Structure 1
Amino acid sequence: MSEVVDTDSQALHHLLTEAGVDWDGLSGEVARQADALLGGDQAALILDESAFVKKGKASAGVARMWNGRLGKVDNSQVGVFSALCRNQRVTLLDSRLYLPKTWVEDAQRCRRAHIPEEARQLRSKCDLALELVDTARQHSVRFGYVAVDGGYGKDPVFLRRLAARSLCFVADVHKDQRIWLEDPAPCQPVTSGRGRPAKKRRTDRPSLTVAEWAARQPASAWKVVKLRQGEKGTLKAEYLHARVWVWDGKEETARHWHLLVRRECGAGTPSHYVLSNADADASTTRLARMQGCRFFIEHAFREAKSELAMADYQVRRWDAWHRHMALVRIAMLFLLKERLAIQDDVPMLSLADLVLAIDQLLPRPEPTPERIARIIQQRHRRRQKALESCLRRELEI
């Protein structure tokens, strides 16, 4: 950025670390404006995580963790994000940086990364996701349901905490998720009167996994659903749908939820297993389209990283990471507004198209020899500073 506008990298770094900006208020305003554009009963609040490859050990929260984009464990930071989606339009709402246990237990490391005291506690990604849900509601963001992938849907406590908030959800689950085809009616076993009474509830009714249930269904049970119109035509998939009972082995009663199984047309094996606490009369088509909206947060991540420099930050501090993500959300919201304003005239306009147009239209400084030399000198100073920092860390080790 410092090579385009008339400033230097230090001024931009100051914006992310020291500038007196009400970042919380700014995030709230982004959420409120996003709600005005997309909010409503048909909107989805989508929760997902995204990883950022990082070198070294100094960046807040960095550790060897699963990086979905790379498909392997690597040195990364992981953020949990929320997005608001309706009618194939999406914008990022909020984000939280995940802190692994190794960071929480290292107070000195946290201080160096400017991690506030209240954030130095072990919180799972599901905890952070629920915090994003609560924050969206505090900002009066309107949505009809919450959508999550299997990384969150596999946690029964997370799903029950959503249900306890009277929120509808569609959640991918793993293929070994156990279900009952009739109410398991859990109860405490009758004891003989000797020894301690049993505290753990049990059921004598058989259960099976969602994968086992799907494998037992006849070919005629699969239903083709038209999900949406895509760039390559109508997107369709095949689905199984049933009402099942789910019990975590602890609750007094089981939950009566929807089970949805998806496979791509022509595929032999399912690609998604889904649980939902939607109304009992929710149709297969409705549930399928609700589950399918998760595509759009993944699409938002791709656009943000390729067009809005979401992953191109050079900061290590906790606060700077969150501020950088706030700027990304502001940029995405602005571009969403522009697309909606002219969608009737240019329905195929993409975020990348708008970024290209703005890049071409904005005035740029004249590429004089002096300016080019200054840019190269700035790059060299940054490289030298990075090298000196690495050498200092090696000496400390």
Structure 2
Amino acid sequence: MSDDILDLLCSEQHSSSLAFAREIRSGVTQHTQRAFNLLFRTQSHHPSRALRFKIAEKVARVEQRPELEHWYRDHAPSEAPAESEHQCNEVYRFAERIIASPIEGEASYINALSEAGLSDDEIVTVAQLVGFVSFQCRLLTGMKLLQGVGRTERSEPPVAGRWLRHSTTQRGSSAPTRFTREQLAWEPWLAPRSSEDFSKEEWESLSHHGQTGSLYFRLLGRNMPVLEQRTLIDRGIFYTPGGLPRGERELAATVTSRVNGCIYCASVHSRKAVHFLKREDVVDKLLSVAEGGVLSTGQDSRTAAIIDFAGAHSMAPSQASLDDIKRLKDAGLDTLELLDLVQSTAFFSWANRLMLTLGEPRTLQ
């Protein structure tokens, strides 16, 4: 069995410029495959492997990646899921909701999973699994486009998605109602692990990445092996030298968060984009676009091409096209830079689905 499923599905020629770029970013490839192995090949984490493959198949179908859908169907365990029919149906309903429109995530969906008998650890694993396959689908779509395979063009420019405008959170805290570069906090809908619940090695892993105080990371720590690989994927995409300038990677993360309606992620990564780009005007213009407005309005040609690609690639399913790739190449992006843009956008399609479905942002008071 291949150690690189995306390579297998792309039938990639190893002499290609894409193969060379992926070799430069080999850490992302390796940790993506390790995350896959943890989610689909281990027996140690519930839910059952059979249910995990069923979820992945459904996600790939919604994302319109038939080759990945068929791969999960063909490699699924022969036995039926160990969970009850009611539990399976609740999990399928949750997965389909958050993959198609993560902004629809509500605490009631998490409560429904709990009431169906899933543990907090299992719910976190299901959310990670859905986000991971969303990420995997966009990596596959992006790689195909870089090989010249995919939709020729899109009919409309990508627009800002809907976002929540509730003035208070589920717990009654003050909630942000607009996109902002201000620092925000985040409230989980499930209990994060307490510091005492982590082993010494797990706590050191969180500490190494400066995340011991993060409720988000301590919640995702309910499946610590997957969190560790996901963190290393993040580092491989956003912290590696060369390729797409860091500010434009952060801009792509912000664009994805605008499409999906994730105010919290947009606040974090818009600040980083300003820091690295040294262009407040670019970022503030993006944040100020009204719901349904064209995201690239008023931007220079290179920035508009990046925003349009990231916006289209963030949709479910991805609407990114060969025309988008041509515009990016015309703007001067080479294959490594294009791969960085694909990966940055794909990763935040994963991140947004965790942030929007496991909790919600609140203002700092």
Whether TM exceeds 0.5 here: the answer is no
Identify the TM-score tier after normalising by the shorter chain: under 0.3
Q: TM-score, normalised by structure 1?
A: 0.24
More relative contact order in 1 or in 2 (CA 8 Å, sep 6+)?
A: 2
More helix by proportion, 1 or 2? 2
